[in-house]
Each structure stands twice: as structure tokens, then as C-alpha cells.
Amino acid sequence: MEISSQNTIEKSISCLLFPIAKTDAVKDQLAKAARLAGQGSELLSADFTGAAGEKTTLYGNGLKIHLIGLGEPKNWADLIKPFRSFSHKQAAQLSAATGVWLGGLTSAQALRRAEAAAHGLLLGTYQLGRFRQEPAGQEHPLAQEGAQLMFFGESLSAEEVTAAGQKGLHLAATQMQMMDLVNAPSNYKTPEMLASWALASGEAHGYSVKVLDKAAIQQEGLHALLAVNRGSEVEPRFIIMEYQGQGGNLPKIGLVGKGVTFDTGGVSIKPSTNMHYMKSDMGGAAAVLGTMEAAAKLRLPVHLIGIVPATDNCVDANAIKPGDVIGSYSGKTIEVTDTDAEGRLILADGIAYMLKHYAPDTLIDLATLTGSAVRTFGYHAAALFSSSESLQQQLMALGEAAGERVWPLPLWEVYEEDLKSDTADVRNFSGRPMAGAINAAKFLEFFTHQHPNWAHLDIAGVAFGDNEFSVQKSASGYGLRLLTAFLETF
């Protein structure tokens, strides 16, 4: 999709989106829409208030003007959703050359709305049915080759508005790829496929990618990753990505994402009821992969390293068993009391590798790690654990602004008692039906070497769930806006 901006509406535009928030001067905006449609002041008596979800269409002067209520958006997610919803549900009302009205706004408001409109309208073109033999319907007008999105409004800075819209497109395009990865069935989504995606993205956007195959993983001594992979018919991969922004003395940020491409639970097998959703157990990996691509696309001034240990967790005669003791990259031994607590095992190797080879100033790991996080926060927030009060507060504020909330839980020393082992340095699961997310975080903390600026995000409840765009649960793309906003603070 191509982006452009100008002050006057082109004759080539027949479809114009006219977003109005309840906080805007609604009567003035309605009067302007009436003038554009060649209608009189009778429009001012309409019931349109700008509430979220409101839609009205005006016709006149060769234009089809869709009034879209934005409500009172409190964050990016609130602002993006009306555009995404209209694009998804009202695709037939759009055209391959669609305009968006930004008049009557301050410069900052116009830029923010341009980014949100581009992001939401492109997200609305997303289709889940990648593996259908027959297409779900007609191609979305804005997904067609040569589609154009044009912004209009008095006294706009065309260059700035175009750049804001382009940023929205960049983030939406990457988010849709993240969603594709998470939604893909495990017989297509192997560790090798994740590695291939990273290699292709790195080549396209200018960041380096190194992939360790099983032999290299063995040579490096990533024993926890190898242990989880023992029951699998497909080999693991260890994906290392590095983006170097322009400038000197750049902050060095390390991201580690759990890449379990399917999780049966291993010998500690999961109930069958919702096991088909375990294709989503690499939501943390998707967040890291997407953020690497976004940072490179936006040319952010940071030194960013991303690591994804990737495997599935399956069952056969070679699979690890409850009670086994395994090694790890850090040299510490682990008693595996539950093979369904596998994500923390591969993250332990990823974190230890990151610290040894890159020594980041800030370390963040993300994982769809525990049902405990879902039971605590439902589908509205990720569980946040951090060794730094300032980092914790920063991520909470950024998550609130992005609409990707995080909320803190404690890392008190008393929880270490739950992970003491008689046979190894640490055990991976307490065995108690309580404090599951906290115990998982305490396990990971054991491998951080007391890093002073570390955060762990348990995104089990927010990376995959119900939404208005799919019949079953599907990916949300969680983490991209939060992590990109975090990188932009530097």
C-alpha cells in the first residue's frame, strides 16, 4: 500500500474515511463533513456523537464519506481498533484508493491519527485462511497491488503525515507476519521454518542472523534446549539476531523469546481439550522476531540482540522424564519435576547465552509461560517481573500507552524455597498448585546472574485469544507495540 498526504482532496478519491472522536469538536467536524458532501446544516441535527463503533455514510460531490466514531481512545489499541474493525467488516465499502480526513486537528493529533489509521486499515486486511484450498472471499481493496491510502486536511505537513502513516504500515505488516507465525499449525511451523523467517527478514531489512542447527547446538552446550527436543522428530534451532543502529554509544538491549512450536507437555502430557491451541506456544518468539524486524525497518538508534531457542515438546521413548536431571548452557544442573514446564528450560539456555556473549545493558525475555498468569490477569495483561524498579515502572507506563498492559508480581526470596532440589542445583517446577507464574520467574532469575536491569514478561493470556476477527482463538501480535515503544525511548 502506498501512502501520500496533501491538503486538498483529489478527484481520484471516491471513498473518504472521516474519523471523529468524542473528544473532538464534533459539531465542527460534522459541519465540515457536510460541506465535503455538499450537504446543508441539517447534518448538524444528526445523532452522531463520535462514540466508539458509530458509523454513518454520507453521499455527495462524487464522494462516499464514512463517518467513523473513535470514542475516547486512551491508548494506541483503542485508537487503532475502529480503523481495523471498519477495514475488516466493511471492506466492500472501501476502494483501492481510499482517503482519510485529518482536518481540524493539532499537528500531534494528526500524526498520531495517521499512524493509527494506516496501522488499523492494513491490519483489517488480515486473513486467517492461509491453508484453505478456496479463498475466503474477494481480495480486500487495500490489499490489492497498487492500493493507495491518502491523508487530507488543512495545513498538514505532508512529509510528516506521510512518515507517520508509513510507520503504521511498517508495524502492521510486521504484526501480521507475527500473527501468521503464531497461527500456523505445527506441521508447517517447525523450528527450521522460524529460522528461515528470521534469515529472510534479516536479509530484507538489514540485520544479521545466525542459526545454530542441532550439531552446533550440541557443540555449544545448550543442554536444556537439547533435553526438551529429545522427544521430537524435528531438530531444534537456536536463532541469534543482531541489529546495529546508527551512532556511537548505543544502548545494548537483549531480547529472548520462547520458541516452542508445539507443546504436548511431554511425558507430563496436557489434557486434550485445548491442546490444539498449543501451536501458539511460541508467542514470545514471535514478539522477539517482530521487534527485531520493526527496529530495523524504523532504523531505531539502538544495538538490539534477539535470541530464540526453538523446538517442539513432544513424547517418544527418548523424551525426558519427570525426575531426570539435565544440564544447561550456564553449567547449572536442573531437576525436571514436570516436563510441561519446558519453556523455562529453553529460556534458561537463551538467557545464559545472551549474557555470556553480548552482556546487554537491558535484558527482557517474553514467553507464553504459565496458566497461572492467565488465571491471575485473564486476557487483559501480561505478568511482569523485574530486577529493576525503574524498568518495571517504564514498561508499565509504556504498556498502558500502547494498549499492551503489563502488571508486576513479586520476586521475593521466599519463593526460592519452592525450587530447591535434592539432586540438582535447581528444579523447574515446585509441584504446588499456587504461585506458578512467580515460581517460573524465580527459575529464570536463577540464570540471569543477578542482572540489574532484567524483566520477564509472561504473555500467556495476551498473545493468543478470542477476538472479533476469527471463529476460534487466534494470535494478537502482542508485544510489538510495547517493545517498539520501549526501544524508541532510547
CB atoms within 10 A of CB 385: 23
3-state secondary structure 351-408: HHHHHHHHCCCEEEEEECCCHHHHHHHCCCCEEEEECCHHHHHHHHHHHHHHCCCEEE
3-state secondary structure of 160: helix
Catalytic residue among 344, 405, 442, 481: 344
* 64 has catalytic annotation: no
Query: Rounded to whole angstroms, how far apart are CA atoms 421 and 429?
Result: 10
Phi, psi of 362 (to 5 degrees): -130, 135
Residue 280 backbone zone (phi > 0: left; psi -120 to 50: alpha; other: beta): alpha
Query: Rounded to whole angstroms, how far apart are CA atoms 454 and 360?
Result: 10
Catalytic residue among 35, 252, 270, 473: 270
What one-letter code names the amino acid at 352?
A: A
Strands (E), 148-236: 148-152, 208-212
Please state whether beta strands 382-386 and 63-71 pair in parallel, antiparallel, or not at all (unpaired). Answer: unpaired
55 annotated binding-site participant? no
Q: Cell triple for residue 107?
A: 499537528
Q: Who contacts 390 (Cβ-Cβ below 8 Å, separation ≥6)?
A: none
**Among 374, 388, 375, 396, CA closest to 463:** 374
Q: Who contacts 395 (Cβ-Cβ below 8 Å, separation ≥6)?
A: 384, 386, 406, 455, 457, 482, 486
10 annotated binding-site participant? no
* 356 has catalytic annotation: no
24 annotated binding-site participant? no
Residue 96 backbone zone (phi > 0: left; psi -120 to 50: alpha; other: beta): alpha
Phi, psi of 367 (to 5 degrees): -160, 145
281 annotated binding-site participant? yes
422 annotated binding-site participant? no
3-state secondary structure 85-99: HHHHHCHHHCCCEEE
Where is the binding site for Mn(2+), in residues?
A: 258, 263, 281, 340, 342
- The set of catalytic residues is 270, 344
